Amino acid sequence: MENQEKDYSHIKGWGIDADPKNDPTYPMRKRSNDEHNGYGWKRPPQQPIDIEVLHSNERPNVTAVFGTSAPPSGLSGMIRRYAFRYGEGSFAHWLPLLMADRVNVVEGILDDFRRGRVPNIFAERGGKAEWKHNPKGMVQKVAIGVVVVTAVVALLSRRSRSSES
């Protein structure tokens, strides 16, 4: 309010969407309470479910359309199936899914090898761009990596030596 006297003519479009009744604004504005009638709307036709689609246990069905990018498979798929037994508010749902994602990464590498392809992890991580635009940062990262690996190796070898004695 205090600034109403100010001149905003240098800002193109100042105030053109101002609306004193802009409250409650989106997402409440078009509230209809139709949902009181429940899940009763006329659903779009169902996309044929000819792959495995995991669906949240907070809904009764698979939505009318769905993505087909990567149906669950392998060990990660088994973990995902387990996760979907739990609701969306539960850690028992999300933590296994995160774990499945990590297992899936290993599956992806094995799959590459099976197809006779050695994944170029340096290139996949955008190494070329990093080297071009941030060589200092990259050297630093590599150096930290080397230090950490050396420290871990040193620690492990000392431990195995002391357990031998």
Partner 1 sequence: MLAMSYRGPQRVRIDQKPMPEILHPQDAIVRVTRSCICGSDLHLYNGNVPDTRVGETFGHEFIGVVEEIGPDVHKLKVGDQVIVPFNIACGECTFCKQELYGNCHESNPQATAVGGIFGYSHIAGGYNGGQAEYVRVPYANVGPTVIPDWMHPDDAVLLTDVVPTGYQAAEMGGIQKGDTVAVFGAGPVGIMAARSAWLFGAGRVIVFDQEEYRLDFVRKFAQCEAYNFKSIEDPVVFMKKTTDSLGADVCIDAVGAEAAGSAMQTITGRKLLLQAGSSTALQWAINSAKKGGIVSIVGIYGPTGNLVPIGNVVNKGLTIRANQASVKRLLPRLIEHIRNGVLSPRQLITHHIPLEEISDAYRIFSDKLDNCIKPVLIPPSARI
Residue of the chain from 7, 9, 129, 136 that contacts partner 1 (CB under 8 A):
129
If one asks whether residue 116 binds partner 1 (CB under 8 A), the answer comes out as no
Residues 20-79 that bind partner 1 (CB under 8 A): 20, 22-27, 30-32, 34-35, 37, 39, 41-45, 47-48, 53-56, 58-59, 61-70, 72, 76
Nearer to partner 1, 22 or 157 (CB): 22
Q: What type of residue sits at position 159?
A: R
Contact 72, 96 (CB under 8 A): no
Count CB neighbours of 71 within 10 A.
Answer: 12
Q: How many helices (H) and strands (E) would you count in the chain?
A: 5, 0
* Nearest-approach distance from CB 155 to partner 1, in angstroms: 21
Contact 26, 7 (CB under 8 A): no
Nearer to partner 1, 25 or 160 (CB): 25
CA dist., res. 41 & res. 38, Å (int): 8
* Nearest-approach distance from CB 3 to partner 1, in angstroms: 3
